[in-house]
Amino acid sequence: MDKKKQLITVALAGNPNSGKTTLFNSLTGSRQQVGNYPGITVEKKEGRLKTEEADIHFVDLPGTYSLTAYSQEELVARNFILEESPNVVVDVINANSLERNLFLAIQILELGSPLILALNMMDEVRAQGLTINTSLLSKRLKVPVVETVARYGLGKKMLIQTIIEQSQNPKSWTPLQISYGPDLDPVLEKMSQLIVESKFKLDKYPPRWLALKILENDEEIKSILLKEAPDLYKKLNAIYLEVSAHCEKTLNTYPEAIIADYRYGFISSVLKDVVQKDTHRQRILLSDKIDKVLTHKFLGPIIMLLVLYTVYKLTFWLGEYPLAWVEGFFTFLGETADKLLPPGLLKSLVISGIIDGVGGVVGFVPLIAIMFLFLSFLEDSGYMARVAYMLDRVFRIFGLHGCSIMPFIISGGIAGGCAVPGVMAARTLRSPKEKLATILTAPFMTCGAKLPVFILLTGVFFPQQKALALFLISLTGWVVALVVAKFLRSTLIKGPATPFVMELPPYRLPTWQGLFIHSYEKTWMYLKKAGTVILAISILIWAMMTFPQLPQEKQAVYLNQIETIENTLKTNPVEKEKLLSEKEKLAFELAQAKLTYSLAGRIGKSLEKITSLAGFDWKTNIALVGGFAAKEVIISTLGTAYSLGEVEVEEATPLAQKLAKDPTWDKAKAISLIIFVLLYAPCMVTIVTIARETSWKWALFALVFNTLVAFALASLSYNLLTL
């Protein structure tokens, strides 16, 4: 049996430090034998590997860069290949520097030896994000190419298999012939012919290779020739001297240098497109590096807070100008309508119901668009996923799951989201209890519809710290959501936690196109809502605030007084200032009386008893009731409520200025309102969505529970602040 086995001799050649010895050790294990090459100090290492098919004898050749006769190592390697004619030569190549390593491979091929390329250190190549097209390399050089990682013994099997295949089907290895250019090619041809004619050791030395060695001025070959075929040597040497002189004269160089140049030229043509940057892999590597900092235990959260805070700062800084333009535009629309329309219901509807209502919402479009632009950047770049990853550590503490983060963020965890898709995003949570807790708390976040209220109120009452205030509001949303989640998870929805698995996508530089499309989509959705739902609700609320109308005789009381003053002004303009302000006061009182008499006014008034605990008057109540339908309505209703009193005064000012001037408003009330708006019942659409995702029981729970939480906290803060 054993005798039938093929005996294969394999020479391991390669540059120093390419991993030859490592590969050799891994292939042969302990079956090694170390000696010296006869007569010299160069170490000779041999080892064996027995497989089912073959008995392989490995020889670890000394490491060399070339096969000329400059050093003992090169000579030993060359002579082993030439004289022992191993069945296979495995050239172990450091794949990190293919070009330099192939220099040796080319020379082995010129010798006509059966070659296998072992591309070693592939682990390092991959770590650099590079791929090597081995099949292309193999095709171009017409030799098998095997990828290995000698250090971990990877690719060993494949290498052994290839060695066996190569030696079982010994194809006729014709020596590689590469062109050495117009000066040397004809000379090589002529010399080869002379060698063939003189039949000098044709079985050992390929004639063209021998000719090349003469041109390379190889001392060993020259001395062999001189000794064994002096006639041939004389002829060849004459040719060499001639071409050498010619090269010296015309190119100012010598044949050896030309040969090296052409070899490198050949190698670079072989390697064209072989080494490719694996951009995906490189991105992952770069991402890993970035993540070392951005998701660092301590630095990560600090950077995260800085990034989010910067987004707010930048948004307000950039948004200031377009905000003023849009506000100006709606003021202009209001003034124009005021001039063109006759006094009456239509004028009131157009100015108070439509222009002020919708204007209040649209006015925030520039700010929201800019905010969306930044958020899209964070999202598209992959940073948002890191935010989620970092926050996960916190989430577990509160009985939530890592996957709760996306619903939170989408709902407005970073101001500007929407609870509807947020609640739906909770579908990724597998545990029903964690899902429920997420759904019930996600609406506490700063959704895009609450945002205008906050922007308005912070702008009026905290003009110096707008960004900080908004940041704190968002933070409050988070804190309340987490605390409530913890509360629910330890009472109504008790249960164990499930583990977190989440893929972090590699970072990418967002494209402008992507950013604009994403922020445009979100802004457009907001605008569309303003144009349709909000407009409808705005008109409905205007109607509720206008009807039933104050009876004529009650209006007459005010109108008569106003008329008297006007008449006095016409005839006797002595105390003009005093009369004018009296007239203004009467107009205001009339408007108030009208509003109080209306349906909305009655609802607002009847709620005032309770809501005064949180500092809300009946006008605010009207807005908040409207907010149950959609949070955007709060701002538009406030706009309408505060402009109703003014239509007669022929002066339309933006809501912000009205609130700033209004004596019934102060910081305590603003803060209380902010807290309430942030936390109270999810809007109608969200309620329906919650019902769909869970049940109506939980949807109603959210409605009542959130409103109670909101009212409790708003009252608490109001009373503390007004103490």
CB half-sphere exposure, 693, CA atoms < 13 A:
28
Nearest to 327 by CA among 289, 355, 286, 291: 355
State whether residue 159 is helix, strand or coil. helix
State whether residue 10 is helix, strand or coil. strand
Which region, judged by CB under 6 A, interacts with ligand GDP, from 147-155, 402-410, 430-438, 665-673? 147-155
Question: In sequence order, which residues have a C-beta less than 8 Å from that of residue 473 and are 6 or more positions away?
Answer: 415, 446, 454, 458, 674, 678
CB closer to Mg ion, 45 vs 631: 45
Environment class of 27 (CB within 10 Å of its CB; exposed 0-12, middle 13-18, buried 19+): buried
Cβ at position 11, least distance to ligand GDP in Å: 13
Among 9, 66, 87, 120, binds ligand GDP (CB under 6 A): 120
Which region, judged by CB under 6 A, interacts with ligand GDP, from 149-157, 333-341, 402-410, 631-639? 149-157
Q: From the CB of residue 265, how many other CB atoms can be counted at a distance below 10 Å?
A: 14
**C-alpha dihedral sign at 385, 390, 393, 399:** negative
CB closer to ligand GDP, 16 vs 505: 16
By the rule CB under 6 A, 243 interacts with ligand GDP: no
Cβ at position 277, least distance to ligand GDP in Å: 20
Among 16, 181, 421, 531, binds ligand GDP (CB under 6 A): 16
Cβ at position 154, least distance to ligand GDP in Å: 7
Among 8, 88, 115, 121, binds ligand GDP (CB under 6 A): 121
CA–CA separation, 406 and 388 (whole Å): 7
* b/e sequence 393-420, b meaning 16+ C-beta within 10 Å: eebeebbbbbbbbbbbbbbbbbbbbbbb
Nearest to 323 by CA among 371, 375, 365: 365
By the rule CB under 5 A, 21 interacts with Mg ion: yes
Among 11, 13, 14, 225, binds ligand GDP (CB under 6 A): 14
Bond into 407 cis (ω within 30) = no
Are 221 and 69 in contact by the 8 Å Cβ rule? The answer is yes
By the rule CB under 6 A, 184 interacts with ligand GDP: no
State whether residue 652 is helix, strand or coil. coil
Which parts of 382-450 fold into alpha helices (H)? 383-397, 405-408, 419-425, 432-441
CA–CA separation, 194 and 205 (whole Å): 14
Cβ at position 121, least distance to ligand GDP in Å: 4
Enumerate the β-bridge partners of residue 92.
Answer: 14, 118
Q: From the CB of residue 212, how many other CB atoms can be counted at a distance below 10 Å?
A: 23
HEC-encoded secondary structure of 26-88: HHHCCCEEEEECCCCCCEEEEEEEECCCEEEEEEECCCCCCCCCCCHHHHHHHHHHHHHCCCE
CA–CA separation, 207 and 229 (whole Å): 14
Nearest to 473 by CA among 415, 395, 406: 415
Among 46, 53, 55, 123, binds ligand GDP (CB under 6 A): 123
By the rule CB under 6 A, 17 interacts with ligand GDP: yes
Amino acid found at 398: F
CB closer to ligand GDP, 91 vs 379: 91
Cβ at position 92, least distance to Mg ion in Å: 9
Are 150 and 23 in contact by the 8 Å Cβ rule? The answer is yes
By the rule CB under 6 A, 323 interacts with ligand GDP: no
By a kind-dependent CB cut-off of 5 to 8 A, residue 392 interacts, out of Mg ion, ligand GDP, none, with none
Which region, judged by CB under 5 A, interacts with Mg ion, from 14-22, 141-149, 398-406, 597-605? 14-22
By a kind-dependent CB cut-off of 5 to 8 A, residue 124 interacts, out of ligand GDP, Mg ion, none, with ligand GDP
Which region, judged by CB under 6 A, interacts with ligand GDP, from 144-152, 217-225, 254-262, 511-519? 144-152
By a kind-dependent CB cut-off of 5 to 8 A, residue 5 interacts, out of ligand GDP, Mg ion, none, with none
Element (H, E) at 14: strand 6-14
By a kind-dependent CB cut-off of 5 to 8 A, residue 17 interacts, out of Mg ion, ligand GDP, none, with ligand GDP
By a kind-dependent CB cut-off of 5 to 8 A, residue 450 interacts, out of ligand GDP, Mg ion, none, with none
Among 88, 108, 145, 150, binds ligand GDP (CB under 6 A): 150
Nearest to 256 by CA among 225, 284, 217: 217
Cβ at position 196, least distance to ligand GDP in Å: 37
CB closer to ligand GDP, 156 vs 435: 156
DSSP result, 103-132: HHHHHHHHTT--EEEEEE-HHHHHHTTEEE
By the rule CB under 6 A, 151 interacts with ligand GDP: yes
Structure tokens, 51: 């497989």
- Tokens 């029903």 -> residue: 432
- Give the interface size with Mg ion as a residue count (CB under 5 A): 1
By the rule CB under 5 A, 428 interacts with Mg ion: no
Cβ at position 229, least distance to ligand GDP in Å: 36
Interaction residues for ligand GDP, span 18-47 (CB under 6 A): 18-22
Cβ at position 21, least distance to Mg ion in Å: 3
Which region, judged by CB under 5 A, interacts with Mg ion, from 13-21, 108-116, 308-316, 616-624? 13-21
Angle between helices 181-198 and 255-271 (to 10 degrees): 110
By the rule CB under 6 A, 124 interacts with ligand GDP: yes
Cβ at position 44, least distance to Mg ion in Å: 12
By the rule CB under 6 A, 101 interacts with ligand GDP: no
Which region, judged by CB under 5 A, interacts with Mg ion, from 21-29, 199-207, 265-273, 337-345? 21-29
Cβ at position 21, least distance to ligand GDP in Å: 3
Interaction residues for ligand GDP, span 371-400 (CB under 6 A): none
By a kind-dependent CB cut-off of 5 to 8 A, residue 22 interacts, out of Mg ion, ligand GDP, none, with ligand GDP
Amino acid found at 196: V
CB closer to ligand GDP, 149 vs 418: 149
Helix and strand totals (H; E) in the chain:
33, 9
Give the residues lining the site for Mg ion (CB under 5 A). 21
Give the residues lining the site for ligand GDP (CB under 6 A). 14, 16-22, 63, 120-121, 123-124, 149-151
